[in-house]
């Protein structure tokens, strides 16, 4: 698994913490920016992360912005991407086990570093259950 991370200016400080978490847990990652707190457009980073996650089914993504709404909406425009907003450990676990999420979106303005670590733990340690959830997940992508 390779983790692709990205953020906007509101998520920059959280992204620094995420990188430390990934290093401490020996998880391979690629940082697609942003690289400071200067104002940027979140879709640029969400699209970049989604494209990288699409390249390999083993890839996982972490996106961070103020509310997580903008990056989630943007990432979910990409076929095969299932980006879930996670604000606590239970939502992260369910995103993985029920929705087969391949990107989690973290709301920087609403969670602490401590909660963020629990979110990451649950997302990376939880596996898709399949079963009744598989048919539902298969209905997500549209061919328009």
Condensed to tens digits (0 to 9), the pLDDT of residues 52-89 reads 999 999 999 999 999 999 999 999 999 999 999 999 99
Question: Which phi and psi (to 5°) does residue 112 adopt?
Answer: -90, 170
Structural domains of the chain in order of their starting residue, each with its CATH number: 3-138 (3.40.1400.10)
- Over the stretch 90-122, which tens digit does the pLDDT of each residue have? 999 999 999 999 999 999 999 999 999 999 999
E strands within 9-52? 29-31
1-15 pLDDT per residue, tens:
999 999 999 999 999
Query: pTM of the entire structure?
Result: 0.96
Q: At what angle do helices 89-97 and 113-125 cross, to 10 degrees?
A: 20
Q: Which of 7, 9, 14, 65 is catalytic?
A: 65
Clarify whether 65 is annotated catalytic: yes
């Amino acid at each position: 698994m390779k983790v692709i991370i990205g953020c906007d200016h509101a998520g920059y400080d959280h992204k620094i913490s995420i990188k430390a978490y990934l290093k401490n847990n020996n998880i391979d990652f690629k940082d697609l920016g942003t690289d400071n707190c200067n104002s940027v457009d979140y879709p640029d980073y969400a699209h970049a992360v989604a494209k990288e996650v699409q390249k390999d089914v083993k890839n996982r993504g972490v996106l961070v912005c103020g509310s997580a709404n903008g990056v989630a909406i943007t990432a979910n425009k990409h076929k095969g991407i299932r980006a879930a907003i996670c604000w606590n450990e239970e939502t992260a676990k369910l995103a993985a086990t029920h929705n087969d999420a391949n990107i989690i979106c973290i709301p920087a303005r609403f969670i602490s570093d401590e909660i963020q670590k629990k979110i990451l733990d649950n997302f990376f340690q939880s596996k898709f259950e399949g079963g009744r959830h598989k048919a539902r997940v298969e209905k997500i992508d549209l061919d328009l």
